[in-house]
Structure 1
Amino acid sequence: MDRLLRPRPGSVSDFQFGAVATETIEDTLLHLAQQNEQAVQEAAGRMGSFRETRIVEFVFLLSEQWCLEKSVSYQAVEILERFMVKQAEDICMKAPIQLRANEKTESWNWKALKEQLFNKFILRLVSCVQLASKLSFHYKIISNITVLNFLQALGYLYTKEELLESELDVLKSLNFQINLPTPLAYVEMLLEVLGTSLGQKIEKFISVKEDFMLLAVGIIAASAFIQNHECWSQVVGHLQSITGIAVESIAEFSYAILTHSVGANTPGRQQPAPPHLADRARRGAASST
């Protein structure tokens, strides 16, 4: 199995920024913003329940072991999250029907459904990673043999037919809509825009608020401060111009990321008596326009 999991050299160098036409970038950014706004409006209260740290770490470590690119890891997490939420919703929908039956039958069916969901979780997780790898087929696809060997190493004995059925269950449950936007896609797109000469503001993104777009600008702003805090205000200004997200929101989100990541070494604490973070970012935005 080690031979199958041997890393592929030079994968990161295959990606290049600045190789796409400005018009294409603008269209893609607009499409992402529209998708994001719709996702925020349709988000259910249970979304995020299956993005717990241990689950996400498992997916990322498995993807790393299988030498998959980072985008596959993010895609697999999104597929798994939506599939498991859908499975949980289906169980809840069956509950009122079961309540009409006698109490003993209802109790047994409810317990059986929960056990089935729990017992197949690892299989579903691996199927989501495999499906995500097929979305980036130009890079690497995980074979059924590799998946079955991995499951066997964990003590799970499945057949090739059961593995294919699991993939089909995921696809059918999500109506074959598995090419989902991820936080990484927003980060990469905004970095691409920052590397171009877009001079005008894109007012179409003003309505985008607490979502993947905000997460992306917060990550970029926090990273810019760590790399070179003197240029941080200018980067925040550019991000505000590109996305339409308020400077205050970008500043507060980047502050939260830095506080969580590096503790006291944050934009708001680099001097004994610093100016307000948003004021500093606002001045940077004004100077960059």
Structure 2
Amino acid sequence: MVKHLTGLLATSTPEDAAADEPERSEEAVLKKIKDTFHLIVFSCVQLASKLSLHSHLIDNNTAVRFLRSVGLRVSKQTLLESELMVLKGLEFRLDAPNPLTYVEILLEVLGHNEPSIPVERLHLLCHQVLQFVSLQRTAIYDSLLVMTTRCVSPSREQRETFMTVTEDRMLLGVGVIAVATSIHYFGKWEQVVGELSHITGISKRSISEFVHVTLTHIVSPSVTST
């Protein structure tokens, strides 16, 4: 955190940062940003909102009104400058996709294409399924490897080839949604799998195999690939 804040300061006030080169303590950094700390935090929230496809909820007009309501006299220009400062401090490295990112984007697209699918209700369950898969990652993917290779003791070459599957976040995303659907809305499972396959190009068979293995581990956590 302090490292990124130091980067923000170096971007916004290079002369001050150079003058204080010998002093690198956390107190020195926080002292410099004391007057703008709340604005910086809000800019981080606004940027995160934009990355999460919810920028329409925190537009600049809303942001300025909110900040003024809590005693911060800012303009749209100040807000934009603060966002730019944060972006520069992070060297514009904001794109850090993770499995939850894929799940939420897929749910957005799924809900848009098929309004009858209760994606809002699936969202929370997807969080829980994703957490389970993350905690049982090795066991689940070992079982999936055995299922796809039809070999109880896959060779080294097979394991190396399978690495692309373990790193496929899109497969993980569709798999998590399909598992959540099978648990909570089984009647729509085939429809959801078909739509997810259409959206991503991942075969229904691959999705079904992921779901089967994951559900097996949910029901019987002691299951192993051997």
Q: Structures share a fold, TM > 0.5?
A: no
Normalising by structure 2, report the TM-score: 0.42
Q: Which has the higher helix share?
A: 2
